[in-house]
A and B are shown apart, each in its own frame.
Chain A
Amino acid sequence: AQKVTQAQTEISVVEKEDVTLDCVYETRDTTYYLFWYKQPPSGELVFLIRRNSFDEQNEISGRYSWNFQKSTSSFNFTITASQVVDSAVYFCALSTGGATNKLIFGTGTLLAVQP
């Protein structure tokens, strides 16, 4: 069975704090893809990053960084020096690719950044 767990339902931080959003996944497939999407208050889903199972390199994009660890089946997302504009629901998702490439979503983490 495939599953994505985001144990943190809500996180509240003050602007400029660093924050890490946790994501733990389950799959028996050796080839899979992991994603993070951002859903701001306006409601749309914005793609942030994709990682495949063969690439465990951490990635940094500006204030965003991602830590992929196959040993713990985790794909955590860190925002450095958070800003109010980072306030959103963040979803982690898993896909095993193939012909259908269905996405399995976690339940999301609501991040509130206070000024």
Chain B
Amino acid sequence: NAGVTQTPKFRILKIGQSMTLQCTQDMNHNYMYWYRQDPGMGLKLIYYSVGAGITDKGEVPNGYNVSRSTTEDFPLRLELAAPSQTSVYFCASRDQGTPGTQYFGPGTRLLVL
């Protein structure tokens, strides 16, 4: 049971490039989340999904897009990378039957230069 997995672990992007951060969970969780963590700060919610085909914005959605075509996968898309998107990105999931406990992936460290 791998839990929540994220790829890549680390990536360097040039300004204006695009990329997709992958997130997969094998726990059959309905709810999935994307957070970003800036240095010295807590995590802030970018987007979340309550099930396949349903997504919604979080606190800091600008510059990102998501899709949820399957229960397992919740990719995060950066279309035009900007230095302000340099951060560590965490994906999380939770089961509807376990209110409140989110389980996190290992994170993706992104550097935009």
Contact = CB atoms under 8 A, between A and B. Distances in A.
Interface of A: 4, 9, 33, 35, 37, 43-45, 47, 50, 52, 91, 93, 95, 97, 99-103, 105-108
Given A43-B106, A95-B100, A101 B31 contact: yes
Contact of A44 (B31, B44, B99, B107): B107
Contacts, number: 62
Contact residues of B: prevailing secondary structure: strand
B88 interface: yes
Contacts of A93: 42
A7 B48 CA distance: 28
Contacts of B40: 9, 107-108
B45 A103 contact: yes
Nearest to B49: A100
Interface residues of B, number: 27
Most chain-A CB neighbours within 10 Å: which of B31, B33, B43, B45? B43
A57 to B, nearest CB: 17
B104 interface: yes
Nearest to B31: A101
A19 to B, nearest CB: 20
A30 to B, nearest CB: 15
Contact of A52 (B45, B92, B100): B100
Interface in B58-108: 58, 88, 90, 92, 94, 99-107
Given A103-B45, A107-B40, A45 B104 contact: yes
A52 B98 CA distance: 12
Contact of B41 (A44, A95, A97, A107): A107
Given A47-B101, A95-B100, A102 B58 contact: yes
B101 A35 contact: yes
A26 to B, nearest CB: 14
Given A50-B101, A101-B100, A44 B43 contact: no
